[in-house]
Amino acid sequence: MAELRKLRVGIIGCGKIADGHAEIVKHLDGAELAAVCDREPLLAEQLAVRFGAAAWYGDTGEMLAQEKLDVVHITTPPGVHLPLTRQCVAAGAHVFLEKPLALTAPEAKELIDVVVAGGKQMTINYWPNFDPPAMEFKQMLARGVVGEPVHVEAFIGYDLSGAYGQALMSDAGHWVHRLPGKLFQNMMDHIFNRIVPLFPDVEPEVHAFAYKRREAVRNDGTDALLDELRVFLRGGSVSAYGSLCSHARPVANTLKVYGTKATVEVDFNNRTVVSTTSQRYPSAVGRLAPPLQMAGRYFAEAKKNIGQFRRHEFHFFAGMSKLLELFYAGIRAGGEPPIPYSEILRTAEVMDRVIEQVYPATVAAGGAR
């Protein structure tokens, strides 16, 4: 069988997250990192040199004209996603975008419309949802193990003193501070993209509140950033809590789904998917069994993870590899994109509702636009 032509991949935006994309593309069969671009050519150069891309550019138009790219990864701040998508689609490229997709849900819709009208495909980097435990949870759901979802809890932790957090907190001019929803807008895709697929397709009720737990000491633009977010949602007969928490330790990343048949917790950091046991045997003796059963389930998860490690399937960005495999396969076959556009838009709409409630002043002032 003839070998498939490698998809020519480009990256626009050579900041911190671009490293993750370049690392994945470098190792994906059927793709090659052809070129990278940043309006700061020195940043483009360093990425190209470190990851062996053949060319680097300081101008998107020039890269698109020269390189005949099949796919472009747009890893810039979200404010320029829409114009860059227009350029890429016009140049005949499919697009893979970092979250958040755009500054508002209407803008996100416009972006998807541009892609569809251009006959191209897009997806967004919801990589944790394609990590091994998330994929396993989707299968459990499809098999009916959980039953009907009744309530969902999505929790993500954030470390303000971590590598990303520090870059943000030490620079009042960082682009995240200019987003209408600031830190929350840059992170909460990962809360709601887990809840939305479990909700019926109706407009959900969204009640959000947020506050700042850290003490304001810097007297600069960083002080306006709220760091704790709690959201309550209801869509039809399913309810959910979503939390972004900057102070609880360890920095967690979990999804707990309470279903009519079982309650399952996905731990994205520890890569476990475990359903909660219940007492099946009577009396005090019966209460001895569930912790042992839970221990057995965690032991099975550890064994499974070791197997994945041995098969080299346990990378940090394993989910991004999986998502890109599916996205690239869809491009080749002209099939469906890995994340339904309706899901992406519903996530963006929930985010708009949250931002309106927790940052009403920035929304009224037009945010970063």
Partner 1 sequence: MKILVTGAGGFLGKAIVERLLEHGQNDLRCMLRDASKTRGLETIAARYPEARLEFVTANLRNPNEIPRAVAGADIVIHAAAALKGSPAEMFMDSVVASRNLLEAIANELRHIRVVLVSSFGAMGVAELPRGAMVDEKTPLEQHPERRDVYSHSKLRQEQLFWEYREKYGFELVVLRPGVIYGPGGGHFSNRVGLSLFGRFLHLGGKNLLPLTYVDNCAEAIVVAALSESSSGQVYNVVDDDLMTSGQYLSLYKKNVRRVKSIPVPYFALMWGSQMVERYSERSKGQLPAIFTPYKTRAMWGGNQFSNAKLKSLGWRPVLSTREGLERAFAAFRAEPEKAK
Does residue 265 touch partner 1 according to CB under 8 A? no
Does residue 175 touch partner 1 according to CB under 8 A? no
Does residue 19 touch partner 1 according to CB under 8 A? yes
**CA 114 to centroid of chain Cα atoms:** 21
Please enumerate in sequence order all residues whose Cβ is within 8 A of that of 163, keeping only pairs 6 or more positions apart, or say none: 16
Interface pattern 280-309 for partner 1 (x via CB under 8 A): -----------------------------x
Q: Which is nearer to partner 1, 219 or 283 (CB)?
A: 219
Rounded to whole angstroms, how far apart are CA atoms 353 and 363?
A: 10
Rounded to whole angstroms, how far apart are CA atoms 136 and 273?
A: 7
Does residue 167 touch partner 1 according to CB under 8 A? yes
| CA-angle at 41, arms to 36 and 45, nearest 5° | 55
Handedness of CA 358, 364, 368, 369 (dihedral sign): positive
Q: Which is nearer to partner 1, 270 or 293 (CB)?
A: 270
CB of 159 to partner 1, least distance (A): 15
- Residue whose C-alpha is closest to residue 49's, from 88, 19, 76: 19
Does residue 18 touch partner 1 according to CB under 8 A? yes
**CA 332 to centroid of chain Cα atoms:** 23
Q: Which is nearer to partner 1, 15 or 147 (CB)?
A: 15
CB of 42 to partner 1, least distance (A): 5
Place of tokens 């992406």: 344
Does residue 52 touch partner 1 according to CB under 8 A? yes
| CA-angle at 40, arms to 320 and 58, nearest 5° | 85
Ramachandran angles phi, psi of 104, nearest 5°: -140, 165
Q: Which stretch binds partner 1 (CB under 8 A): 175-183, 192-200, 310-318, 346-354?
A: 310-318
Q: Which is nearer to partner 1, 16 or 287 (CB)?
A: 16
- The secondary structure of residue 103, as a DSSP letter, is S
Q: Which is nearer to partner 1, 94 or 174 (CB)?
A: 174
CB of 97 to partner 1, least distance (A): 18
Structure tokens at 299: 């032991």
CB of 35 to partner 1, least distance (A): 16
Q: Which of 32, 293, 314, 357 binds partner 1 (CB under 8 A)?
A: 314
Rounded to whole angstroms, how far apart are CA atoms 134 and 335?
A: 22
Count of residues near partner 1 by CB under 8 A: 24
Place of tokens 């396969």: 329
Does residue 187 touch partner 1 according to CB under 8 A? no
Interface pattern 100-119 for partner 1 (x via CB under 8 A): --------------------
Q: Which is nearer to partner 1, 14 or 111 (CB)?
A: 14
C-alpha radius of gyration, the chain, whole number: 21
Q: Which residues of 19-44 are buried (b: 16+ CB within 10 A; e: fewer)?
A: bbbbbbbeebeebbbbbbbbeeeebb
Interface pattern 20-49 for partner 1 (x via CB under 8 A): ---x--xx------------x-xx-xxx-x
- Residue whose C-alpha is closest to residue 270's, from 302, 299, 294, 309: 302
CB of 26 to partner 1, least distance (A): 8
- Residue whose C-alpha is closest to residue 15's, from 51, 40, 52, 33: 40
Q: Are residues 37 and 11 in contact, defined by beta-carbon separation less than 8 angstroms?
A: yes
Site residues, partner 1 (CB under 8 A): 14-16, 18-19, 23, 26-27, 40, 42-43, 45-47, 49-50, 52, 163, 167, 173, 309, 312, 314-315
